[in-house]
Amino acid sequence: MPTRSRLWIGLAGVAAAGLTLLVTVGCTRDDRSLDEIWADLELEGDGRVFTSELVEGLPEPARRFFAWSIAPGTPLARSVSLGMEGEIFLAPDRDPLPIQADQILAPPHGFIWRAQAGDGFMRINGFDRYAAGEGEMRWKLWGLIPVMRSTGEDVTRSAAGRLAMEAVLLPSALLTQEGVEWEDAGEDRARFIIRVGQETVEATLEVDPEGRPVRVSAQRWSEEAGPGYDEFAVEMTGSFTSGGYTIPSAIEAGWRLGSDDEFRFFRAALDRAEFR
């Protein structure tokens, strides 16, 4: 019996090692592919700089936003790398998980949000992305065991809506010279219309008297909504400046914010921004 027990333990160890090797190889392949997409999204500016003439004729809240966000003479960036930490709720009735994330943002071309959520036994690593016209979400327990992978039209449409609203964190991407249209939406509000892949997103931006963005909202595609469009919003506070750009330093995001059934599922502080 002891010999047979040692045999089974040995075989189990070999099987576990083999499984770990296969999973590790798969993770390495996934990471390499993601790194390549990340590098593709690190778009460089073309030498143009920001001047007040670029925003002439825009609605007054939009001009106020650009004046607050971009210092005169700043090179017009085409991408930004962000660092953040905060917490995320996976469901309305669940406790939040701590989260740390890095993001590359290059509207309207794409984004990658790469994060680690939770700690200890409940540690999940993964990413959300939109690139080359396709959205994807892929998450693994301990960075090894797949727990969720989602692609397809619904994911792509939702990711496109997310990218459009997060363009507020790369203000130069919202200039009309980049193909974005602006409309007046009332006091302290302006609406921008941006094309991301097959989605045309109309987002409403609200600013304070100084021009600091405080809220951006739009109808965003959601599988839970039927599937269909549902109200999504990002609320923003604080500020910090990097490379001639000033952006909010804290964000909260969720579905139907301000309603009785709101799901405010993400909040984070931004601690790094590198504009290219």
Q: Give which of 203, 176, 208 is closest to 191, Cα–Cα.
A: 203
d(CA 107, CA 76): 13
- In the chain, the amino acid numbered 105 is L
**Residue 152 three-state SS:** coil
Beta strand spans in the chain (E): 80-88, 97-106, 110-119, 122-131, 134-141, 145-150, 181-184, 189-196, 199-207, 213-222, 228-237, 240-242, 245-247, 250-255, 263-275
Exposed, middle or buried, 31 (CB in 10 Å: 0-12/13-18/19+)? middle
Summarize pLDDT for 217-238 with one digit per residue, the tens: 999 999 887 899 999 999 999 9
Measuring CA to CA, how many Å separate 154 from each of 57, 73, 134? Answer: 36, 40, 10
Task: State residue 220's pLDDT score.
Answer: 98
Q: What is the pLDDT along the chain (276 residues), one digit of tens a residue?
A: 343 334 344 434 444 444 444 444 445 556 779 999 999 999 999 999 999 999 999 999 999 999 999 999 999 999 999 999 999 998 888 899 999 999 999 999 999 999 999 987 789 999 999 999 999 999 999 888 998 999 999 999 999 999 999 999 999 999 999 999 999 999 999 999 999 999 999 999 999 999 999 999 999 999 887 899 999 999 999 999 999 999 999 999 999 999 999 999 999 999 999 999
Summarize pLDDT for 134-167 with one digit per residue, the tens: 999 999 998 889 989 999 999 999 999 999 999 9
| % of the chain with per-residue pLDDT over 90 | 81
Task: State residue 150's pLDDT score.
Answer: 95
pTM of the full structure: 0.88
d(CA 117, CA 12): 30
Task: State residue 158's pLDDT score.
Answer: 97
Task: State residue 29's pLDDT score.
Answer: 56
Task: State residue 11's pLDDT score.
Answer: 38
Task: State residue 28's pLDDT score.
Answer: 52
Task: State residue 19's pLDDT score.
Answer: 42
Q: Are 257 and 235 in contact (CB under 8 A)?
A: yes
